Chains A and B, each alone.
Chain A
Amino acid sequence: MTAVIAASNLSKWYGNVLGLNDVSLEVEEGITGLLGPNGAGKSTFMKLITGQMKPNIGTVTVRGQKVWNNPEVFSGIGFCPENDVFYEDVTGWEFLTGLLRFYGYAPAEIRERAARALDIVDLAKDKDRLIRGYSRGMRQRVKVAQAIAHDPEIVILDEPLSGLDPLGKRKLIKLIKDFKSEGRTVLVSSHVLPEIEALTSRIVLVHQGKILAQGDIPYIRELIEAHPHQISVRSSDPRALAARFLGDRSIQKMTFAADGRTLVVETHKRDDFFGRLTGVVLEDGIEVEEISSPDDNLQAVFEYLVGK
């Protein structure tokens, strides 16, 4: 498949700070998820491919065309920025119709497109309210609306799900999936693995300005599985619990926390451990008060991968 967006050896630094380091990536049709913790370089990459910044080294093209100072390329790109910023003194309708003027549409078409985009993001009935008075979720949705109102072939969404309530997230995820079925190319960033997982199986892991790994969900899952999980189990009898797990080959290490009631387990096979724990609780009647997994998050996975 031909790359829609092609970045080759991209590097970008801000003074002494390296924002992106020798990144090469080809984005194909469909949904690609850019996953990484805050400050990983996702937004920098998105700004480079939308011509908002110029790479210090490397090249970036969209459909074979350069993006820096090439306004024609933007007819086919919709961009939703991460920042919660707007022209605050206008209504949602005025914001959209105002921005749609920049595509050279006739007034009737501008109105039609704005109405359709606001309808898609469920803001039709609030279109005449000032953006200043919108809730965080509504602001996020109007930002998405301005990115899709001109029906772009390529949609680039920087953290579009942040600030949305669960229902809003579900609707937006469905909308993004619809883009895919319409044959569009979507590049979406997030620092939350389940959000990206819900959108696509094609993931690019970004960390400290570098692409750490890229592949489909099973591959990323494998990487995550390889990461030793730390699980804390607070129990009425942690020593009895520990005794039951002695000799279990899936467990790498067991320690007791300072409170004397919590058993801290390190394992590569989290699901196996939980399965056995359930059995132990049921068979031996050991009371478990709390189970937590402090490092079961993306940051921990990244730290593990970087350390590897």
Chain B
Amino acid sequence: MNTPRSIREIFGFFFFLGRRTGKTRVFALLGLIPVVLAVVVRIVLHGRSGDIAAVFTEILMVFFLQFYIVILALFYGTSVTAEEVENRTLSYLITRPLPKPAIVLGKYAAYALLMFAMVAVSLTLSFFVMNAARLREPALYLTFLSYLGVLGLGILAYTAFFTFLGTVLKRAILVGLVFGFGWENVIQYFPGSTQRFSIVHYLKSLLPYRPAPGGGGKGVALLLFRLEPTSTLLAVLALIGIGAAFLALACWLFRMKEYLYEE
């Protein structure tokens, strides 16, 4: 089979398998947290200004951007190759007429779509519950789409990075946790070019910038604070580049590396 067809078949198999796992059920439930939060805030904010809802929406985005997509990408990305080795099921894949990179790419695509579906459902519900009072404003839908797009790009970039980690390291989860919740959370606040060594910097650069009412041009989003955002085009290119580079590395390593099961 050629590589595109192999990727398609691997994608189909693992998209099907991925929906069945306990991991997916747990993470789907985790996605209900912002929805519940949105319902609570809506009840508390009943009849109040839509601007406060927008602030809370940004707080929700912190959950999505700095927790939900990172933890999803960490667990699904590292498992692209590592779970096959840990569960010793790799034999079922590499003794088939499939190019090894197709295994990585197909599983990556299957898991990325699965994650995007979970994030999209959670974001849609929480966003529109939170902003129920502003449903007639066309700008609201643009904001929603830009949030969804940013999260989608985040999933692609983070998952590629964690796929690479899982291909290289035996205990990739630990290193991934340090990267996702240590490095990413700290380095983005470094001034100058240092912040550009984090993925979240480019994601935040893409978020709609909403000046505070009477804030003299300053952004209100404390948690979504960004120092020196990269331009939209460059940020998109950087995220796509990060994703492509780490995926290519993961494919190359998976092809060259020999995986031994632990006895």
A83: which of B1, B99, B255, B261 is its contact (CB, 8 Å)? B261
Q: Is B98's CB under 8 angstroms from A79's CB?
A: no
Q: Is A98's CB under 8 angstroms from B96's CB?
A: no
A108 CB–B CB distance under 8 Å: no
A274 CB–B CB distance under 8 Å: no
Q: Is B96's CB under 8 angstroms from A69's CB?
A: no
Query: Given A51-B95, A53-B258, A102-B96, do A90 and B87 touch, yes or no (CB 8 Å)?
Result: no
Cα of A168 to Cα of B37 in the assembled complex, Å:
56
* Chain B neighbourhood of A77, CB < 8 A: 95
Cα of A191 to Cα of B88 in the assembled complex, Å:
21
CB distance from A188 to the nearest CB of B (A): 16
A86 CB–B CB distance under 8 Å: yes
B92: which of A94, A101, A146 is its contact (CB, 8 Å)? A146
Q: Is A98's CB under 8 angstroms from B97's CB?
A: no
Q: Report the count of interface residues on B (CB-CB < 8 A).
A: 30
CB distance from B26 to the nearest CB of A (A): 14
* Chain B neighbourhood of A69, CB < 8 A: 100, 255
A256 CB–B CB distance under 8 Å: no
Q: Is B98's CB under 8 angstroms from A81's CB?
A: no
Q: Is B88's CB under 8 angstroms from A83's CB?
A: yes
Q: Is B95's CB under 8 angstroms from A50's CB?
A: yes
B1: which of A53, A73, A90, A102 is its contact (CB, 8 Å)? A102
* Chain A neighbourhood of B17, CB < 8 A: 87, 89-90, 98
Query: Given A74-B96, A99-B96, do A89 and B255 touch, yes or no (CB 8 Å)?
Result: no
* Chain B neighbourhood of A99, CB < 8 A: 13, 92, 96
Q: Is B88's CB under 8 angstroms from A98's CB?
A: no
Q: Interface 1/0s, chain B 50-67, versus A by CB < 8 A? A: 000000000000000000
Query: Which A residue sits closest to B257, measured CB to CB?
Result: A54
B94: which of A51, A72, A75, A89 is its contact (CB, 8 Å)? A51
CB distance from B235 to the nearest CB of A (A): 37
B96: which of A14, A54, A81, A103 is its contact (CB, 8 Å)? A103
* Chain A neighbourhood of B260, CB < 8 A: 14, 53
Q: Is A71's CB under 8 angstroms from B97's CB?
A: yes
Q: Interface 1/0s, chain A 271-304, versus B by CB < 8 A? A: 0000000000000000000000000000000000
CB distance from B69 to the nearest CB of A (A): 24
A104 CB–B CB distance under 8 Å: yes
B225 CB–A CB distance under 8 Å: no
A135 CB–B CB distance under 8 Å: no
Q: Interface 1/0s, chain A 231-263, versus B by CB < 8 A? A: 000000000000000000000000000000000
A-B contact count (CB 8 A): 77
B10 CB–A CB distance under 8 Å: yes
Q: Is A81's CB under 8 angstroms from B5's CB?
A: no
Q: Is A89's CB under 8 angstroms from B99's CB?
A: no
* Chain B neighbourhood of A104, CB < 8 A: 1, 5, 9, 97
B163 CB–A CB distance under 8 Å: no
B197 CB–A CB distance under 8 Å: no
Q: Which B residues from 23 to 70 make CB contacts under 8 A with A?
A: none
Q: Which B residues from 162 to 221 make CB contacts under 8 A with A?
A: none
A52 CB–B CB distance under 8 Å: yes
A71: which of B89, B96, B259 is its contact (CB, 8 Å)? B96
Q: Is B258's CB under 8 angstroms from A89's CB?
A: no
Query: Which B residue sits closest to A147, measured CB to CB?
Result: B95
Cα of A81 to Cα of B90 in the assembled complex, Å:
10
* Chain A neighbourhood of B261, CB < 8 A: 83
B136 CB–A CB distance under 8 Å: no
Cα of A50 to Cα of B91 in the assembled complex, Å:
9
Q: Is B91's CB under 8 angstroms from A52's CB?
A: yes
Interface centre among A99, A102, A103 (most CB of B within 10 A): A102
Q: Which B residues from 208 to 261 make CB contacts under 8 A with A?
A: 255, 258-261
B149 CB–A CB distance under 8 Å: no
Q: Is B20's CB under 8 angstroms from A79's CB?
A: no
Cα of A51 to Cα of B94 in the assembled complex, Å:
8
Q: Is B87's CB under 8 angstroms from A85's CB?
A: yes
CB distance from B177 to the nearest CB of A (A): 25
B131 CB–A CB distance under 8 Å: no
* Chain B neighbourhood of A54, CB < 8 A: 258
Cα of A104 to Cα of B10 in the assembled complex, Å:
11
* Chain B neighbourhood of A101, CB < 8 A: 9, 12-13
Query: Which B residue sits closest to A19, measured CB to CB?
Result: B260
CB distance from B101 to the nearest CB of A (A): 10
CB distance from A132 to the nearest CB of B (A): 11
* Closest 6 pairs (CB-CB, A-B): A102-B96, A89-B20, A85-B88, A79-B95, A104-B1, A101-B9
> Given contacts A50-B95, A81-B88, A102-B98, could you give 20 more A-B pairs where the C-beta distance is less than 8 Å?
A51-B95, A71-B98, A74-B95, A79-B91, A81-B91, A81-B92, A83-B91, A83-B261, A86-B89, A87-B17, A87-B92, A89-B21, A90-B17, A99-B13, A99-B96, A101-B13, A102-B93, A102-B97, A103-B96, A146-B92
Sample 24 A-B pairs with CB under 8 A, ordered by A number.
A14-B260, A50-B91, A50-B95, A52-B94, A52-B258, A71-B97, A71-B100, A74-B95, A75-B97, A79-B95, A81-B91, A83-B261, A85-B88, A85-B91, A87-B17, A87-B89, A87-B92, A89-B17, A94-B16, A98-B17, A101-B9, A102-B93, A103-B1, A104-B9
